[in-house]
Amino acid sequence: MVRFDGVSKTFPVGKQTVVAVENVSLTIEQGEIFAIIGYSGAGKSTLVRLINGLERVTSGTVTVDGVDVTALSESKLRPVRSGIGMIFQQFNLFRSRTVAGNVAYPLKVAGWPREKRAARVAELLEFVGLGERARSYPDQLSGGQKQRVGIARALATSPKLLLADESTSALDPETTQEVLRLLQKVNRELGVTVVVITHEMDVVRSIADRVAVLDRGRVVEQDTVFEVFSNPKTETARRFVGTVIRDRPTSGDLTRLRANHSGRLVTAQVREGGRVGAILAGAAELGVSFEIVYGGISALQDRSFGSLTLELQGPDAGIDTLLLRLREHTDVEEVAA
């Protein structure tokens, strides 16, 4: 659905040039929910605006549904944009228009006749659960309801692609989950490809199939959500994962563990289908005992992963053999002597 090939975007700021996006190459498949995550200033919003041509690339190409948008004039971009919906952090609703009027607006611009507009608006408001609020105004709605209106409006012209730029950042946790479930419904029932721009790893964990991690304008890691959560390969990804998965001891935890445990401390990664449990079950034959002193197991996309920090006690030769066996099947780090 979307393909970036060597895309860079720079902005002149005074006499300097600021690089917002640098040499990005990635592919977003039709029908998936793809997340782009990064800290403030990482280039996330610029990247998403390159998809619908609101920003033009400095170099490289962006292809949307088979069309190279970087080569199109503004007039030829309009039909491409009609196939792309967008929702925003601050909702961007017209306060002077009713809920129905907001949803109908893009249809009116597209020249739909009144009766056809009314039927489409009613259909969309039922889909997002706001059928009874058609005559309300945005100021009469909660934040979650406003975002539902924004989603309905974005779907008005039946787009194949929906861009959600920090669409839950202004919402409380419970409302965030309601909106995320609605985005999943859009994806599953309507077949719309969804691109989620966020700085919240909980959002990625909740709905995304794959994720790209953006840092200073560059994609530093991209994979399935399960792979990035269970085995982050870059420091940026590890920091993000650490905000929601706390299965590895911090330096403070290690200080406490060293004070309370005299054995050797190791952290072993646990993944579904691995043999960590079976190997530990054979520790006694090596004269080694173990105790789980930190860690946890999480579930994501119907698979399990996590890490366990163990205190191992027994002869060094036995412990070394046990660690050798573990390392044949998983990552093991000795965190204290």
Domain boundary among 242, 275, 303: 242
Question: What residue has token string 């590890």?
Answer: 238
Give the model confidence (pLDDT) of 300-313 as tens digits.
777 888 888 999 99
Q: Assess whether 42 and 108 both reside in one domain.
A: yes
Instruction: Please determine, for residue 100, whether its predicted confidence score (pLDDT) is greater than 90.
Output: yes
Domain boundary among 188, 222, 242: 242
The pairing of strands 289-300 and 303-313 is antiparallel
Mean pLDDT for the stretch of residues 57-85: 91
Instruction: Please determine, for residue 335, whether its predicted confidence score (pLDDT) is greater than 60.
Output: yes
Q: Please report, for the chain, how many H helices and E strands are present, in that order.
A: 12, 14
**CA angle, 18 then 20 then 222, to 5°:** 150
In terms of residue numbers, what domain contains 294? 251-336
Band of residue 337 on the pLDDT scale cut at 50, 70, 90: low
The residue among 1, 17, 3 whose CA lies nearest residue 47 is 3
Give the model confidence (pLDDT) of 247-294 as tens digits.
878 888 888 888 888 889 999 888 776 788 888 899 999 999 999 999
Q: Assess whether 11 and 90 both reside in one domain.
A: yes
Instruction: Please determine, for residue 183, whether its predicted confidence score (pLDDT) is greater than 80.
Output: yes
Q: Assess whether 230 and 312 both reside in one domain.
A: no
Domain boundary among 216, 242, 268: 242
Q: Assess whether 159 and 275 both reside in one domain.
A: no
pLDDT at 220: 95
Q: List Cα–Cα distances, 8 to 60, 171, 207, 219, 236, in angstroms.
A: 6, 32, 28, 11, 20
- SS3 at position 293: strand
Mean pLDDT for the stretch of residues 159-179: 90
pLDDT at 230: 86
Q: For residue 290, give the CATH number of its domain.
A: 3.30.70.260
143-154 helix and 173-190 helix, angle to the nearest 10 degrees: 20
The residue among 332, 259, 272, 261 whose CA lies nearest residue 299 is 272
Q: Assess whether 110 and 258 both reside in one domain.
A: no
Contact 293, 311 (CB under 8 A): yes
Band of residue 101 on the pLDDT scale cut at 50, 70, 90: very high
Domain count of the chain? 2
**How far apart (Å, rounded) are the C-alpha atoms in residues 301 and 218?**
27
Q: Assess whether 267 and 238 both reside in one domain.
A: no
**How far apart (Å, rounded) are the C-alpha atoms in residues 147 and 142?**
9
Q: Assess whether 29 and 122 both reside in one domain.
A: yes
More confident residue, 73 or 2: 2
Q: Assess whether 222 and 288 both reside in one domain.
A: no
Structure tokens at 53: 């041509």
Q: Assess whether 99 and 128 both reside in one domain.
A: yes
Q: For residue 24, give the CATH number of its domain.
A: 3.40.50.300
Q: Assess whether 163 and 263 both reside in one domain.
A: no
pLDDT at 191: 95
**How far apart (Å, rounded) are the C-alpha atoms in residues 334 and 20?**
39
Q: What is the pTM of this model?
A: 0.86
Give the model confidence (pLDDT) of 223-260 as tens digits.
999 999 888 899 999 888 888 888 878 888 888 888 88
Q: Assess whether 171 and 255 both reside in one domain.
A: no
Contact 176, 148 (CB under 8 A): no
| Lowest pLDDT segment from 26-40, 121-135, 141-155, 303-317 | 303-317
Backbone angles phi, psi at 226, to 5 degrees: -60, -45
Q: Assess whether 297 and 208 both reside in one domain.
A: no
Q: Where are the alpha helices (DSSP H) in 193-234?
A: 201-207, 225-230
Q: Amino acid identity, residue 316?
A: D
Q: What is the mean pLDDT of the chain?
A: 90
